[in-house]
Structure 1
């Protein structure tokens, strides 16, 4: 990790702890110039993590469910179709929260003898009207995103082993670490991924090279990564070194790295 990345991660931590913080105070804490801090904040703002407001850095909340539903729908459709093709009659499936995962639910809801566990209110509402055997994680509902998390969710999923899990993520950094804004979400996602026979991270291209506060795991911890991102030569070499299985959809069809 570069010095700039370490500094930007520290900025995210400081802003998350305090809710907001002055630019000059960040420069003082990190012992760099205000110009350096402004460049860091510009990058974090572009990545959707922090907002700059008149000399103050403010933590940016997650995009709402409604906003997510209308962005990059073609990519979500391609990802969902690739994932739905992996599901067979009789499977036990975990569906993580998020609008891309919701699109997977729409495409598997008529598969016979399917059991689905989800931590997403909207996905649960969709599937309760289908023939799927449905289980919903208990816990706190994040109203902006429709996701469920907390101690009860973690306890429930510690006892459940699924055949296949489709997981989402807010961010993947340049070192292929998978990140999320909150500790409770990180804990649940990590547990489900570990307890599944097969686990797939399902992410569109916009999730890469972004920062968030909490590390869930790394790309190599999944059975595979299903994405619309086209990796450059340096990234492909790193993927091969780490033995990460990548399925790229879109741009002329499905490709595996």
Structure 2
């Protein structure tokens, strides 16, 4: 990764960390914190605002707080259902799979009730949705992430490493062709990394709003991800960049029936 790109990612992470401990931060404060010019800080804030992480104000920025899972379930519903439907053929009956927390993975879980398989998850809503089905459900412990109702952190990662799975199905707040898979914090990143490391293949379920974004904590490069399933709202340049990086991309169109496969690793 180019040095300037690495430095920008590091600055973005520092800005988000500063905003976690405050309701607002000024350009002047960030200039002192980062040791860069006001022009550089303003460009960084523009990048973060486009990614939906912050909202710029006169002289600074405020954080965009994560919505609780029930509120997020109402966003991009058709796209998430299409993504889940396109991912369903990647679930092999009789296998063990990991399902990470999130609204799109929850859509997939709701399609798995009739399958004979083992699901290891850190998500309370996913476990609940599978409770009446045929799947054997293993819920790992950890620290509760309230907005998403999922278990995260070192204990969650330790618990995940006791299992092996054929495929990990994970959501993500940010997936970028250059910066890879990034998460909103260290605890979330550690949990997803454990899922990724303990599975033979990883499938990312991400709607188009998550592509081209970079969040705080690095999880994995694209070469650790076998398949990305997204929706038809994805910008062609994002799809092309992911494919050129060697990742298989499946594009699900809610209005056009079956998903299309844009290549990448077989």
The answer to whether residue 65 in structure 2 is matched with residue 67 in structure 1 is no
Partner of residue 55, structure 1? 59
- Partner deviation per Cα, 1:193-221 (whole Å, 9 max, x = no partner): 12112221111111012121100102221
How far apart are the structure 2 equivalents of 1:86 and 1:11? 35
SS at match of 1:44: helix
RMSD of equivalent CA atoms: 2.4
Q: Which runs of 5+ in 1 are unaligned?
A: none
Q: Check whether the contact 2:154–2:190 (CA below 8 A) recurs between aligned residues.
A: no
How far apart are the structure 2 equivalents of 1:174 and 1:245? 12
Q: 1:207 to 1:186 in 2, by over 3 A?
A: same
Q: What is the aligned counterpart of 1:206 among 190, 205, 209?
A: 209
How far apart are the structure 1 equivalents of 2:144 and 2:169? 20
Q: What is the aligned counterpart of 2:113 among 85, 109, 116?
A: 109
Q: Check whether the contact 1:15–1:57 (CA below 8 A) recurs between aligned residues.
A: no
SS at match of 2:111: helix
Following TM superposition, by how much is the alpha carbon of 1:52 offset from its aligned partner in structure 2, in angstroms?
3.0
Q: Check whether the contact 2:172–2:183 (CA below 8 A) recurs between aligned residues.
A: yes
Q: What is the number of residues matched between the two proteins?
A: 254
Following TM superposition, by how much is the alpha carbon of 1:59 offset from its aligned partner in structure 2, in angstroms?
3.5
The answer to whether residue 257 in structure 2 is matched with residue 256 in structure 1 is no
- Partner deviation per Cα, 1:13-44 (whole Å, 9 max, x = no partner): 14414624321122344455435433432331
Partner of residue 179, structure 1? 182
Q: Check whether the contact 1:12–1:50 (CA below 8 A) recurs between aligned residues.
A: no
How far apart are the structure 2 equivalents of 1:210 and 1:83? 22
SS at match of 1:192: helix
User: What aligned pairs does 1:168-247 form with structure 2 within 5 A after superposition?
Assistant: 168-228=171-231, 229-232=234-237, 236=240, 239-240=243-244, 242-247=245-250
How far apart are the structure 2 equivalents of 1:223 and 1:22? 40
Q: Check whether the contact 1:9–1:211 (CA below 8 A) recurs between aligned residues.
A: no
Partner of residue 149, structure 1? 152
How far apart are the structure 1 equivalents of 2:127 and 2:219? 23
How far apart are the structure 1 equivalents of 2:179 and 2:72? 23
How far apart are the structure 2 equivalents of 1:222 and 1:48? 24
The TM-score, its normalising length taken from structure 2, stands at 0.85
Following TM superposition, by how much is the alpha carbon of 1:53 offset from its aligned partner in structure 2, in angstroms?
4.2
User: What aligned pairs does 1:8-19 form with structure 2 within 5 A after superposition?
Assistant: 9-17=10-18, 19=21
How far apart are the structure 1 equivalents of 2:195 and 2:30? 36
Following TM superposition, by how much is the alpha carbon of 1:5 offset from its aligned partner in structure 2, in angstroms?
7.4
Following TM superposition, by how much is the alpha carbon of 1:225 offset from its aligned partner in structure 2, in angstroms?
1.3
How far apart are the structure 2 equivalents of 1:31 and 1:118? 42
User: What aligned pairs does 1:20-169 form with structure 2 within 5 A after superposition?
Assistant: 20=22, 21-111=25-115, 113-169=116-172
Q: 1:238 to 1:202 in 2, by over 3 A?
A: closer
Q: Which runs of 5+ in 2 are unaligned?
A: none
